[in-house]
Structure 1
Amino acid sequence: MAVRQLPIPAKSDPSIPLLTQLSNLGPFRGPLQLVQTLDRVSGIPWLQAQSQYPKAYWQSRESDKELAASGCVRKFATANEASHCLSESAALPLVIMGALPFDDTNTPGTEQPLFFLPRLLWQRQDDNITLTLNLWVDEAHSFTDEMAAAKDALHTLRQPAHTPCPPLPDVLAVCNSPEQASWAKLVSQALAEQPILSKVVLARRQLLTTGQPCDPWLLLQRWHQANQHSTPFALQLDNQSSFIGCTPERLFKRDGRQLLSEAVAGTDVRPKDPLHARLIAMALLGDGKNRRENRIVLDDILSRLGPICDALSYDDRAQVLKLNRLQHLKRAIHGRLRKEICDADLLARLHPTPAVGGTPRADALRFIAAHEPFQRGWYAGAIGYLSHANSEFSVAIRSAHIEGCQLALYSGAGIVDGSDAHKEWQELDNKVATVRSLMGQK
């Protein structure tokens, strides 16, 4: 398989040097990348300006890595197919964007797994920014057709517009599914399934109707500004709808064979007053119900990672993950993967975690499918990227689906022994409070 990487000096218009190099290419086979170094530009405004779909955005919680993808060279139906492609093309630093819905079983009528090699990939690693044009020639895609598609992508390449940010639209109506009375019944049903069902995560969809269509990129930028220690993400399959979010939870991070995961479960508020917030954090660390919920998630993840790791360790004591309005119990998990394990194995074993589904997994998922009044879609799924050298996926919570003047906010609460329906409802409100406040709602 022919692979080449051609670095190109930075210019004010990145399409010019890329088009020049493209016109000088001779026939080739397999994947090829043209890489352009860019001056400082932000990923979200860059992606907002592009017109090719699908679009995907993801930034690490530490803010050291940022990806913005536009257009598609190859799609893969499964993570296995994507992992195989990376293995076969290990000489080239391909990056495949990936997203799994909550229900990734290919159930008819639900969202389907998505893995794609983008036509254009804006990438920031620390302070280094590049734009990559991906090409791929094989039996199904001729050199001539691939050159034409690449030129089309470059001709539509746009620089971000520097315009004043408009206000977010007013909210005209709010509708919950389920409503609070139905939620209380649902919690009672879940508690009645114990001890067979150790934990089940029940979700609520809160539908906001706005006076004008909501700009997903503007909302995402402001959301992340309010929650700096989270991972912002976005997925747009077309120009009609967007799935965005700002999640505090990492599914896994792989660097070579080194693995980092975490158990995030157990929640309380984080007031603005530092002393009050510290007191609540201390109470959270000592609360039996929240510690039990966190331990359930930890034990399940450890049991899933144990068979595929040569070494595995975790934090003996939970730490407090501090967000804008909330704080969570978190335990880091470290492992060394066996040589034959790939990212597809990790996704299959870890998704969905007990933090968004429950445990035992099969029983919890059956309960959710039978009782929740809506399909979760991308909510509580997984979103991130795959590459040969490293990969990372985040859990798609604290998220919203936007379509026209409809904005659906999603939140969930873990139901375990000791859960109280009213308190769990308050937790749902707390989890959407940041984005509601951005929309002018209390």
Structure 2
Amino acid sequence: MPFDQAIEQLRDRLAQIADTVPGMRQICVNFSPDTDALNWLASQRCWPQFYWQSRCGEQSVAACGAVERYYSMAQATRHLGQLPSGWRLFGANSIDGDSYLFLPVLLWQQDSDGQRLILNLISDISVQQEAQRLLRWLDELRPMEPAAQLPHYHRAHHAPDKDGWLQQVNQALKAITGGDLDKVVLARVTDFSLSGPISPAALLAASQRINPRCYHFMLATEPQQALVGSSPERLYARRGREMDTEALAGTADLDQPGLLDDAKNQWENSLVVADIHQRLTDIVDEMAVMPVELVPLRHLQHLRRRISARLLQADDAQCVARLQPTAAVGGLPRAAALDFIHQHEPFDRGWYSGSVGYLSQDESEFNVVLRCAQTGGEQIRLYAGAGIVSGSDPELEWQEVERKAATLGTLLTAENQG
């Protein structure tokens, strides 16, 4: 069934709802892939909008409109227990504890079972009345428009600039030498002034094409404001009580040999593994750490150790609180590293280094918000960071954030605009 017919079938099934009592309904219609989900989402004029693709590419979702919104993981997980099994919430969590999660009105979901449209309906008064409102809401959906072209940037401003970065890294190394820190992850923002308005969906679509083995995500809470990114790192995935997480730390150029044997990068990775083990030890009854492996990306390669565990309780709010921010994006000890970050970084991280994904009663998955940007009209802010440990070279760490920022930044150069 083509997409347009699937929408019509949703209308037909909504029109048949006659119950005048409170309740919940979920209508699901299967259809054939004849439309691009991300481009369709960009054509809509209803918010919030959310797009997420798993790292392996086998699962993707596009959601728009909110039945309900939640501003903490605790609030979201409490309400999730009142929803039917299988209903999903989507959104993001910051490292400061704020969240933006929502139950979508309309969800486009693709996985190994095919593609389907899912419409969620909740009413405290009359299910029929809400069904009539949603029929009018569906009437406001727009046909898919041609994909937008990306602008290029006129000016770029780093914060901190290179001199400030080198000074900041040296301050971090001094704190590490003095025993105050084992590791701290410092970040940089780059603010671009663009030649025209930027489409978050167009930016993400371009990133999907050139950044393999990444999660791809977009969260637009209102017009002209969106988080966009392509991240290689999983925070965790949960199926029932079985959880998979990972230590992704240790970085080198893609063509640089010997990363597996590099003492500094091995040490950085081992710090993250030990931290994850310590954070999870009292909420799991089993844990296993896999051997180290290389993860090659477009510009860089990373060290990764996969970690599996069996939770005592399937509690997503607890999982996020324990794991976020990981030592790979914050540092160690956690409190001291975050205090150093708040004192020295000349900007607010926002969603950067937090997590984005989905949760349900049965399963959940969140990736770490890395290699990302915040878009707004003709402005865009890119985020990138580097882990500082004993032996870090400030100049090399600057080169690392340059390469990480290039994940999205190279898409805005005049050379890539044809």
- TM-score with structure 1 length normalisation? 0.89
Distance 1:89 1:412 in 2: 38
Structure 1 match to 2:42: 48
Match of 1:168 among 150, 157, 174: 150
8 Å contact kept, 1:15–1:157: no
Counterpart in the other structure of 1:23: 15
In 2, distance between residues paired with 1:265 and 1:441?
32
> 1 CA distance for matches of 2:331 and 2:136?
46
1:313 maps to which of 285, 288, 291:
288
Query: Residue 237 of structure 1 corresponds to which residue in structure 2?
Result: 221
Residue deviations 1:156-210 (CA, integer Å, cap 9, x gap): 223423x3x5542121111000011111111111112122211110000011111
| Distance in 2 of aligned mates of 1:286 and 1:367 | 30
For residues 335-374 of structure 1, what are the structure 2 equivalents within 5 Å?
A: 335-338=309-312, 340-374=313-347
Partners of 1:55 and 1:264 in 2: CA distance: 29
Count how many residue pairs are aligned between Structure 1 and Structure 2. 411
> Where does residue 400 of structure 1 map in the other structure?
373
Tell me, in whole angstroms, the C-alpha distance in 1 between the residues paired with 2:116 and 2:72.
27
Task: Name which of structure 1's ranges 409-418 and 77-86 shifts more when overlaid on structure 2.
Answer: 77-86
Matches within 5 A, 1:275-354: 277=255, 280=256, 282-315=257-290, 317-338=291-312, 340-354=313-327
Is residue 2:51 matched to residue 1:57?
Answer: yes
Matches of 2:3 and 2:231 in 1, distance apart? 35
2:27 to 27, 31, 34: 34
Question: 1:262 Cα shift?
Answer: 0.3
Residue 399 of structure 2 is matched in structure 1 by: 426
Confirm or deny: 8 A CA contact 1:174 1:208 kept in the other structure: yes
* Structure 1 gap segments, 5+ residues each: 1-8, 105-111, 271-276
Q: What's the secondary structure of 1:72's corresponding residue? A: strand
Offset at residue 49 of structure 1 (A): 2.0
Shift of 1:11: 6.2
Q: 1:82 aligns with which of 70, 76, 80?
A: 76
1:326 aligned partner, one-letter code? L
Q: Is the 8 A contact 1:119 1:153 kept in 2?
A: no
Q: SS state of the match for residue 13, structure 1?
A: helix
Q: CA deviation at 1:144?
A: 5.8
Cα distance in structure 2, aligned partners of 1:149 and 1:189: 58
Is residue 2:251 matched to residue 1:267? Answer: yes
CA 1:434/1:78 → structure 2, altered by over 3 Å: closer, same or farther? closer
Q: CA deviation at 1:289?
A: 1.0
Structure 1 residues 190 and 11, CA, compared in 2 at 3 Å: closer, same or farther? closer
TM-score w.r.t. the length of structure 2 is 0.94
State the partner residue of 2:123.
137
User: Which of 91, 98, 121 is matched with 1:98 structurally?
Assistant: 91
Deviation of 1:336 (Å): 1.0
Any conservation in 1 of the 2:17–2:131 contact (CA below 8 Å)? Answer: no
Q: How far does residue 261 in structure 1 lie from its aligned partner after superposition?
A: 0.3
CA apart distance, 1:14 = 2.7
**For structure 1, which segment, 54-63 or 22-31, has the greater mean C-alpha deviation from structure 2 after superposition?**
22-31
Amino acid aligned to 2:273: L
The amino acid of 1:257's aligned partner reads R
For residues 207 and 441 of structure 1, the distance between their equivalents in structure 2, rounded to whole angstroms, comes to 16
- The runs of 5 or more residues in structure 2 that have no matched partner are none
Structure-2 separation of matches of 1:408 and 1:336: 38
